């Protein structure tokens, strides 16, 4: 058992920014992160043995992340950074349980900042379990940190700016992008988009850079289309796409086939709320932010005493928003620990709040364009696997609903959906939409799966006792 005044879970943009501000204020900080190096997904650093000779090839986010990581490293003497630490539970008495070097540990906190980020939104469709179908985040990790192309002929399907960024990273790595299949159609209100983007010169520069990159490489960009099916004999060989209406429902007679050996699927992200739910935080359903998100005040404090949530785990809004939210949370936690007066905390947080307000204008417009529509979850057929861990099909789930299962936990008990190693993280969002459609209710009225520790797979021997932190 170890004690720390402030524990931060996650060392992505939000977690690093929170740690920087808290250490500067004089707080005693411990950071737990499952990766070997800080940076998270968006600012992910290369592993040992790799040398960066051309930073531009890794993208603009990598270059921006270098400055934040360097600032974080410069404050190492004021914090304890525990990499390769997989947090698997929260318990009463303000205890965080985590796995490190195959041993389980518990740390007590006075204040806790959860900055776990988000994960790729799972969308079941026929053929999505074929080898060669990857999430966009998984493909990006291969390209950015392992310098490995996921395939020879790569098709990107999904929505949002990650599509363009990933396409450029693949092109710079020497890969072939067969096309970008974008679910969102042409933006209707250009005036709103221009107003939202005004002042966000760095983001506009990124957008122009990515669009020019795919134009120069002659990558087709198909707007208002989704993938209908992935086909192949034991692996992906082709993808069937189709045009969709405003609700992203397939328009009859518009299907076409594109040859590809890899399909990267990226329909946005889902906030990682397992820990905020274990902490007893109140949550609300906000589809424009990715789904269920913790309720927070202006200081990123949740409804659970001493618990803050920052970054994409509290609503998917991008790395720039995550940075500002992390800074605010770190300042607020330092104030709660008595390291800063209220006046000083407000002075330090004021610029962050101003930047958040500026970023919110563009975010609202982009959310209106790319938030997933109901038709996306109508692609699966009865024999499509929804729960990959337990191999439960849509037909199995529909049968359970017809037999009286009226929420996700009842379906879990009847079918084992959500009992696999992912603990419902990947089937939960799709299952919520299926139940809402079958029962003709809003997704917010579907009770989500109950999280239970361990929220991530850990070896059974690690639960038998505590190890000693090095």
pLDDT in tens, the chain (470 residues): 566 799 999 999 999 999 999 999 999 999 999 998 888 777 766 666 666 666 665 556 667 778 888 899 999 888 999 999 999 999 988 999 999 988 889 999 999 999 999 999 999 999 999 999 999 999 988 887 778 999 999 999 999 888 988 999 899 889 999 999 999 875 544 445 555 555 555 666 777 778 888 999 999 999 999 999 999 999 999 999 999 999 999 999 999 999 999 999 999 999 999 999 999 999 999 998 999 999 999 999 999 999 999 999 999 988 889 999 999 999 999 999 999 999 999 999 999 999 998 888 777 766 777 788 999 999 999 999 999 999 999 999 999 999 999 889 999 999 999 998 888 988 999 999 999 999 999 999 998 898 888 988 888 887 776 555 55
Domain boundary among 351, 367, 383: 367
Same domain, 94 and 171: no
Domain boundary among 335, 367, 399: 367
pLDDT computed for residue 56 by the predictor = 61
User: Which residue from 445, 337, 392, 381 is spatially nearest to 6, judged by alpha carbons?
Assistant: 337
Report d(CA 423, CA 453) in Å as an integer.
Answer: 9
Asked if residue 433 belongs to a domain, the reply is: yes
**Residue 139 belongs to a domain with what CATH number?**
3.50.50.60
Asked if residue 410 belongs to a domain, the reply is: yes
User: Which residue from 124, 317, 327, 307 is spatially nearest to 230, judged by alpha carbons?
Assistant: 124
Same domain, 355 and 407: no
Report d(CA 178, CA 175) in Å as an integer.
Answer: 10
**Residue 439 belongs to a domain with what CATH number?**
1.10.10.1100
pLDDT computed for residue 349 by the predictor = 97
Count of domains forming the chain: 3
Report d(CA 296, CA 309) in Å as an integer.
Answer: 8
Q: Is 300 helix (H, G, I), strand (E, B) or coil?
A: coil
Which helix (H) or strand (E) covers residue 209, if one does?
helix 201-216
Domain extent at residue 162: 124-266
Domain boundary among 343, 367, 391: 367
User: Which residue from 371, 358, 319, 313 is spatially nearest to 160, judged by alpha carbons?
Assistant: 371
225-263: b (≥16 Cβ within 10 Å) or e? bbbbbbebeeebbbbbbbbbeeebbbeeeeeeebebbbb
Asked if residue 237 belongs to a domain, the reply is: yes
Same domain, 114 and 55: yes
């Amino acid at each position: 058992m170890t004690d720390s005044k402030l524990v931060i879970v996650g060392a992505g943009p939000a977690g690093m920014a929170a740690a920087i501000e808290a250490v500067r204020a004089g707080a005693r900080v411990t950071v737990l992160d499952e990766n070997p190096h800080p940076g998270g997904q968006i600012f992910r650093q290369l592993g040992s043995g790799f040398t960066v000779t051309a930073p531009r090839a890794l993208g603009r986010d990598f270059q921006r992340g270098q400055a934040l990581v360097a600032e974080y490293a410069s404050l190492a003497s004021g914090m304890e950074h525990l990499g390769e630490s997989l947090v698997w539970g929260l318990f009463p008495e303000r205890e965080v349980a985590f796995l490190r070097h195959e041993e389980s540990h518990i740390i007590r906190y006075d204040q806790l900042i959860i900055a776990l980020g988000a994960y790729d939104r799972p969308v079941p469709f026929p053929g999505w379990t074929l080898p060669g179908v990857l999430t966009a985040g998984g493909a990006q990790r291969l390209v950015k940190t392992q310098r490995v192309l996921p395939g020879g002929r790569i098709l990107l399907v999904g929505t949002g700016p990650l599509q363009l960024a990933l396409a450029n990273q693949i092109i710079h790595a020497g890969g072939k992008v067969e096309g970008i299949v974008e679910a969102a159609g042409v933006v209707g209100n250009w005036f709103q988009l221009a107003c939202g983007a005004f002042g966000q010169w760095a983001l506009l520069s990124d957008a122009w850079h990515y669009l020019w990159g795919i134009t120069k490489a002659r990558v087709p960009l198909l707007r208002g289309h989704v993938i209908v099916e992935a086909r192949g004999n034991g692996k992906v060989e082709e993808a069937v796409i189709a045009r969709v209406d405003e609700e992203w429902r397939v328009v009859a007679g518009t299907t076409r086939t594109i040859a590809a050996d890899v399909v990267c699927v990226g329909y946005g992200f889902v906030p990682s709320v397992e820990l905020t739910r274990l902490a007893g935080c109140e949550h609300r359903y906000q589809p424009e932010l990715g789904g269920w998100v913790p309720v927070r005040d202006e200081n990123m404090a949740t409804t659970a005493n001493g618990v803050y949530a920052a970054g994409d785990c509290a609503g998917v809004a991008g790395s720039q928003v995550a940075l500002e939210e992390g800074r605010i949370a770190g300042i607020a936690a330092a104030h709660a620990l008595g390291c800063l007066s209220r006046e000083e905390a407000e002075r330090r947080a004021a610029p962050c709040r101003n930047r958040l307000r500026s970023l919110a204008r563009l975010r609202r417009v982009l959310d209106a364009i790319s938030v997933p529509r109901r038709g996306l979850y109508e692609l699966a057929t009865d024999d499509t696997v929804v729960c990959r861990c337990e191999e439960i099909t849509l037909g199995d789930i529909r049968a359970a609903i017809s037999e009286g299962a009226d929420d996700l936990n009842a379906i879990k008990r009847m079918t084992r959906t959500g009992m696999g190693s992912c603990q419902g993280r990947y089937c939960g969002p799709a299952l919520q939409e299926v139940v809402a459609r079958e029962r003709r209710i809003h997704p917010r009225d579907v009770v989500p799966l109950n999280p239970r520790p361990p929220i991530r797979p850990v070896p059974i021997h690690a639960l038998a006792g505590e190890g000693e932190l090095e």
